[in-house]
Amino acid sequence: MQGQILCKASTFIAMTDETFFSATAMPDREWWAALWPDPEGVIRSLGVEPRMTVLDLCCGDGYFTAPLAKIVGGRVYALDIDQGMLEQARMEVERSGATVKKWICADARDLGEHVSEKVGYVLIANTFHGVPDKTGMARAVASILEPGGHFSVVNWHPLPRERTTVLGEPRGPRTNLRMSPDEVCVVVEPAGFVLDQVVELAPYHYGAIFQMVKTA
């Protein structure tokens, strides 16, 4: 249903401290584009391939949704809790000439209520550090993945925030929220995943790519 953003019955999701994940506000486009000059290359390096069905979990303003949609030929579910972000993402995808299968305005933890088919790939970029129950989140992801499907977590490396500068200023979540790939494994693998590979996303990020082995 391209062009239409579906919200839950109440239309507004109250964004309290409990619903909005910590330190996950969408960055300004100026420094985001300076940090990620090649979003399509990032998506390809994470193993996304044509014809996969993908969920872009916490898609923000669509910075990665547009190249995702282009690569997989529109087989994308895009979810965010912020309707304003989804509106920007919809325009970004439209500008790129791609399409999205379904826009979902919801809390990421409720994804099972909104994604009615099994998908082959779930991406969560620049958000996992702020999820309170990370294993619970990974379980929710596992519930909508095909057997053998992949779950990618793109995170800031656990460097001190003052060292991760972009356009001359420290950027990204506060240092104590940042996770190493090993720390991500500890919380994701109990949900039925094994680590497939860790991709370096210079200068400050990595992508931890997991494969689902069983539903935990």
Ligand X SMILES: C[S@@+](CC[C@H](N)C(=O)[O-])C[C@H]1O[C@@H](n2cnc3c(N)ncnc32)[C@H](O)[C@@H]1O
Residues that bind ligand X (CB under 6 A): 19-21, 24, 26, 58-60, 63-64, 80-82, 85, 107-108, 125-127
The whole-angstrom separation of Cα 77 and Cα 59 is 9
Residue number with the smallest Cβ distance to ligand X: 60
* Distance in Å, CB of 64 to ligand X, minimum: 5
Rounded CA gap, 210 and 127, in Å? Answer: 16
To ligand X, the closest distance from the beta carbon of 214 in angstroms equals 25
User: Shortest distance, CB of residue 123 to ligand X, whole angstroms?
Assistant: 8
CA distance 60 to 79: 8
**Smallest distance from ligand X to CB 102, Å:** 15
Residue 38 or 194 with smaller CB distance to ligand X: 38
CA distance 148 to 86: 29
Rank residues 83 and 148 by Cβ distance to ligand X and give the closer one.
83
**Least spacing, CB of residue 17 vs ligand X, in Å:** 10
Cβ nearer to ligand X, comparing 20 with 31: 20
**Cα–Cα distances in angstroms (integers) from residue 45 to residues 40, 61, 157, 197, in the given order:** 9, 21, 17, 11
Helix (H, G, I), strand (E, B) or coil at 162: helix
3-state secondary structure (DSSP) of residue 77: strand
C-beta of 148 vs 169, nearer to ligand X: 169
Q: Which is nearer to ligand X, 19 or 215 (CB)?
A: 19
User: Residue 203 is encoded by which pair of tokens?
Assistant: 């200068």
Paired tokens of 4: 């239409």
Q: What's the rounded Cα separation, in Å, for the pair 17 and 98?
A: 34
